[in-house]
Amino acid sequence: MKTGAQILIESLKDEGTDVIFGYPGGSVLPIYDVLYDSGIKHILVRHEQAAVHAADGYARASGKTGVCLATSGPGACNLISGIATANMDSVPVIALTGQVPTGMLGNDAFQESDITGITMPVTKHNYLVNDTGSIRRVVKEAFFIAGTGRKGPVLIDLPKDVQTGQTDEGENPNVEISLRGYKPTYRGHPKQIKSAMKLITEAKKPIIYAGGGVIASDSSAELVKLAERFDLPVTTTMMGLGAIPAHHPLNLGMLGMHGTEAANYAITECDLLIAIGARFDDRVTGKIELFAPNAKVIHIDVDPAEIGKNKAVDVPIVGDAGEVLRDMISLAETLDIKKKEPWLTKIEDWRENHMMKYRDDKELHPQYIIEQLSGILEGEGIIVSEVGQNQMWAAQYFGFKMPRQWISSGGLGTMGYGFPAAIGAQFAKPDETVVLIAGDGSFQMNIQELGTVSQYNVPVKMLILNNMYLGMVRQWQELFYEKRYSYTELPQVDFVGIAAAYGIPGVKVEEKGEVKDALKKAMETDGPYLIDFRIEREENVFPMVPAGAAISDMIGCHIPDEKEALK
Amino acid sequence: MKSQILSVLVENQSGVLARVSGLFSRRGYNIESLVVGRSESPEISRMTIVACGDEAQIEQVKKQLNKLIEVIKVTDITEKEHVERELALIKVNAEPGDMRSEVMQIAGIFRAKVIDVGSKSVVLEITGDSGKINAIEELLKPYGIYEMVRTGKVALQRGSATVLNSK
């Protein structure tokens, strides 16, 4: 006979779980008692929200499923924004929550919350387990659902009596799961793939628009292969950064609200749009009617509900990006390929003249910091961002070489995500350099995790682009609300002092000339390190497509030189 | 805006109704009626959902329903050969005398059953398509309807076609 808690931990081990991010409490005591000497590493965070973000960062860095654990009631509720983050960005996460005993369910018992009810809209699926015998099956199903098809978070709610209950049922690790309502499609329909290839060979101005689905399906190599085979220029969403190396001659960089002019112009002019693992989000498309207005559209996605949701599609292909791309490549071998010369000349010109630029003078500009970081890391390492201006500067200027190198909250845009996600990523990739790029606002949203970093000596490098503002909101207030900076100014904080209180070394940087040495020192330090960059306060993220405008209608493309700026 | 009849097979488990109805409300889809009950197999429930929207919206409804793990199959039977019925119970004012006999006459024409008779009222049971029920409701209104309950539409495809074996 085994207890539910024992079966749970065994089942997690069977699924390959080696680390759990969690926070104990009354309703999960039986699970923590088993965890104590289970051999699974448990990382004690300082807030449940950090547990789920860390599990998410772990999943994005490794491609495996991340696991977090919280107690009932407030513990479970603190997971919600993290679960919603994982849901929007299709990240495989298992959230385990304690629950009051089954006999007390619905009685407003101490620390009771209806977490399956609350998380229904933000999970791929969830379970309230009501008997010990089904734990093993539920865990197996949950990992299967989280990690297949369009990936996503699954929550398992475990009443305390289910954890303590004993059974000899459900011990068979080969328990059958039957999910007749869940059958993802992986292979694309051959006829559709053929139609797509026909459009590609006929197109004069084609472009690939690649999203996070390419990263999630580990199909970056296939993407690059297809692009090279047909000379197809590529633009990626923020979630798709790293799917093709930044400096690849066919890469136009990121598109959308803060994308490159090159990418946004190319999308507007193209006659064939090949969307792969992307979902036509409003931050990408701007005014949807003017997004690729003259193009036929091929849309490849593992989630049929994304196809045709925001934009009408000529050739829909439901399937895993990798599977479909491999089929397209093998079909391509038989095709006669014409180089699309005039289009490529234009692309080359855009690449030369309309990529990212900023005014590089003697002031401390955040873009300069990101460029220097990229130089020191030679474009490698794992970069995790918070949300806001810091995120956009990192996305625009780092120059990602590889998939899973860029970790950032895209769909939900969750401030406070980055720091715990960086901790999670570091546990997934202990030998990689993990760098957090944060703003002073977002860093303070989960600043308590300095405690976790300190306790486990997590060697995350924390770079704070400190402008004493909630910078992105301030930017919108500057541009669209007549500089009425309503509640976006933050008082100065001695971040180095706070880090020191946790025993973490750091340095404050106020001059451009100090940047390189500070970054080098951070990277050479064995363990965590914090740099507080006091950047140009009112620097903006440009170019920018105002909300609701066409993506070709960008502002801030012209960067004034110093003389002009003085006027 | 068209009304579409979706026949949806779901796992007979607690919470499924909440998942389905929650999906409709949070995505802003309009629902005219939703009927759920056991199907031919005890572990499967059948929902008959009448939803209205343009073609793209209905397409999204179907796709989003299909994404729910506990939804086994969604079939739009509006354009397929099908039969549909709705049942209503109507408690109508029927004072003894002329009024009562007129009400009974209307009931007879519509093949409604009288399932309760009170001193001043009768309860009629009527089955048919929604139009027929609307019609009798209109005719009975002048007499005074005390209470009415309608089940919402249930529907099945004609012939041997089933939701599970249809495309």
Q: Hunting for tokens 């990529």 — which residue is that?
A: A355
- pLDDT confidence of residue A478: 97
Q: Which residue from A minimizes the CA distance to B15?
A: A117
- pLDDT confidence of residue A164: 98
- The answer to whether residue B65 sits within a structural domain is yes
Same domain, B69 and B92: no
Residue A511: how many CB atoms within 10 A of its CB? 11
Same domain, B96 and B126: yes
Whether residue B69 and residue A116 make contact (CB cut-off 8 A), yes or no, is no
Q: How far apart are CA A325 and CA A111, in angstroms?
A: 49
Residue in B10, B60, B73 closest to A305 by CB: B60
Tell whether A144 is within 8 A of chain B (Cβ): no
Q: How far apart are CA A309 and CA A291, in angstroms?
A: 14
| Per-residue pLDDT tens over the stretch A188-218 | 999 999 999 999 999 999 999 999 999 999 9
**Tokens (6 digits) for A24:** 């104990």
| Per-residue pLDDT tens over the stretch B15-28 | 999 999 999 988 88
CATH superfamily of the domain spanning A2-167: Thiamin diphosphate (ThDP)-binding fold, Pyr/PP domains (3.40.50.970)
Residue A12 or residue A176, greater confidence? A12
ipTM of the complex model: 0.91
Given the residues A41, A110, A166, A341, select the one marked as catalytic.
Answer: A110
Q: What is the DSSP letter of B112?
A: P
Residue among A62, A265, A36, A249 nearest A151 (CA): A62
Q: Hunting for tokens 């740099």 — which residue is that?
A: A531
Residue among B12, B13, B21 nearest A127 (CA): B13
- pLDDT confidence of residue A177: 85
Whether residue A181 and residue B68 make contact (CB cut-off 8 A), yes or no, is yes
- pLDDT confidence of residue A333: 84
Could you state, in order of their start, the residue ranges of all structural domains in chain A? 2-167, 190-353, 366-541
Q: Alpha helices, DSSP H only, in A429-470?
A: 440-443, 450-456
Q: How far apart are CA A366 and CA A462, in angstroms?
A: 14
A111 is known as an active-site residue? yes
| Per-residue pLDDT tens over the stretch A126-167 | 999 999 999 999 999 999 999 999 999 999 999 999 999 999
List the CATH number of the domain containing B47: 3.30.70.260
pTM, to two decimals: 0.95
| Per-residue pLDDT tens over the stretch B45-80 | 999 999 998 888 899 999 999 999 999 999 999 999
User: Which strand (E) or helix (H) includes residue A323?
Assistant: helix A321-332
Q: Hunting for tokens 């690939």 — which residue is that?
A: A208
pLDDT band, very low/low/confident/very high, at B165 (cuts 50, 70, 90): confident
SS (HEC) of A483-536: CCCCCCECCCCCHHHHHHHCCCCEEEECCHHHHHHHHHHHHHCCCCEEEEEECC
Whether residue A121 and residue B22 make contact (CB cut-off 8 A), yes or no, is yes
Residue A66 contacts by C-beta under 8 Å, 6 or more apart in sequence? A21, A54, A55, A56, A57, A58, A59, A91, A92, A93, A94, A424
Tell whether A106 is within 8 A of chain B (Cβ): no
Please say whether the beta carbons of B154 and B86 come within 8 A. Answer: yes
CATH superfamily of the domain spanning A190-353: TPP-binding domain (3.40.50.1220)
Q: How far apart are CA A76 and CA A72, in angstroms?
A: 5
Same domain, B67 and B20: yes
Tell whether A304 is within 8 A of chain B (Cβ): yes
Mean pLDDT of chain A: 95
Residue among A37, A15, A182 nearest A92 (CA): A15
SS3 category, A12: helix
- pLDDT confidence of residue A175: 81
Q: How far apart are CA A229 and CA A200, in angstroms?
A: 11
Same domain, B114 and B127: yes
Residue percentage of chain A with pLDDT more than 90: 93
Residue A487 contacts by C-beta under 8 Å, 6 or more apart in sequence? none
Same domain, B93 and B67: no
Q: How far apart are CA A428 and CA A142, in angstroms?
A: 21
Whether residue B72 and residue A304 make contact (CB cut-off 8 A), yes or no, is no
* Residue that finishes a domain, picked among B34, B64, B80: B80
Q: How far apart are CA A370 and CA B105, in angstroms?
A: 85
Which residues are registered as beta bridge partners of B156?
A: B83
- pLDDT confidence of residue A339: 72
Q: How many CA atoms lie within 13 A of A422 on its CB side?
A: 30
How many structural domains does chain B have?
A: 2
| Per-residue pLDDT tens over the stretch A22-36 | 999 999 999 999 999
The pairing of beta strand A2-3 with beta strand A166-167:
antiparallel
Q: How far apart are CA A493 and CA A503, in angstroms?
A: 17
Which residues are registered as beta bridge partners of B86?
A: B128
Examine domains A2-167 and A366-541 and report if their fold is the same.
yes
Tell whether A180 is within 8 A of chain B (Cβ): yes
pLDDT at A337 over 80: no
| Per-residue pLDDT tens over the stretch A486-523 | 999 999 999 999 999 999 999 999 999 999 999 999 99
- The answer to whether residue B18 sits within a structural domain is yes
User: Which strand (E) or helix (H) includes residue A266?
Assistant: helix A261-269
pLDDT at A562 over 60: no
Residue A316 contacts by C-beta under 8 Å, 6 or more apart in sequence? A192, A299, A304, A307, A308
pLDDT at A248 over 70: yes
CATH class name, domain A366-541:
alpha beta
Residues of chain B contacting A301 with CB distance shorter than 8 Å: none
Same domain, B46 and B88: no
- The answer to whether residue B165 sits within a structural domain is no
Same domain, B9 and B75: yes
Residue among A452, A340, A341, A271 nearest A436 (CA): A452
Please say whether the beta carbons of A18 and A424 come within 8 A. Answer: no
* Residue that finishes a domain, picked among B57, B80, B103: B80
Residue percentage of chain A with pLDDT more than 70: 97
Same domain, B134 and B66: no
Q: How far apart are CA A187 and CA A317, in angstroms?
A: 9
Residues of chain A contacting B164 with CB distance shorter than 8 Å: none
- pLDDT confidence of residue A170: 54
Question: Would you tell me the crossing angle of helices B130-140 and B98-109 to the nearest 10 degrees?
Answer: 170
List the CATH number of the domain containing B98: 3.30.70.1150
Residue among A56, A131, A44, A45 nearest A87 (CA): A56
Same domain, B140 and B88: yes
Would you give the distance in Å from CA B63 to the centre of its chain?
22
The pairing of beta strand B82-93 with beta strand B145-150:
antiparallel
For A313-340, what is the mean pLDDT?
91
* Residue that finishes a domain, picked among B80, B113, B146: B80
pLDDT band, very low/low/confident/very high, at A168 (cuts 50, 70, 90): confident
Going from the C-alpha of B4 to that of each of B7, B72, B80, the distances in angstroms are 10, 19, 11
pLDDT at A565 over 60: no
- pLDDT confidence of residue A511: 97
Q: How far apart are CA B163 and CA B167, in angstroms?
A: 8
Please say whether the beta carbons of A465 and A541 come within 8 A. Answer: no
**Tokens (6 digits) for A40:** 């699974």
One-letter amino acid of B35: V
Please say whether the beta carbons of A263 and A369 come within 8 A. Answer: no
Please say whether the beta carbons of A528 and A534 come within 8 A. Answer: no
Residues of chain B contacting A180 with CB distance shorter than 8 Å: 72
Residue A452 or residue B2, greater confidence? A452
Mutate to test the interface with A, among B16, B69, B163 (most CBs of A within 10 A): B69
Q: How far apart are CA A419 and CA A408, in angstroms?
A: 10
Whether residue B69 and residue A309 make contact (CB cut-off 8 A), yes or no, is no
Residues of chain A contacting B10 with CB distance shorter than 8 Å: 181
Mutate to test the interface with A, among B13, B27, B63 (most CBs of A within 10 A): B63
Going from the C-alpha of A490 to that of each of A382, A439, A467, A470, A524, the distances in angstroms are 29, 11, 9, 7, 31
Please say whether the beta carbons of A295 and A273 come within 8 A. Answer: yes
DSSP A358-398: ---SSS--HHHHHHHHHHHHTT-SEEEE-SSHHHHHHHHHS
- pLDDT confidence of residue A279: 97
Residues of the domain holding B100: 83-154
- The answer to whether residue B166 sits within a structural domain is no
Which residues are registered as beta bridge partners of B76?
A: B6
Residue B119: how many CB atoms within 10 A of its CB? 7
Same domain, B75 and B96: no
Would you give the distance in Å from CA A208 to the centre of its chain?
20
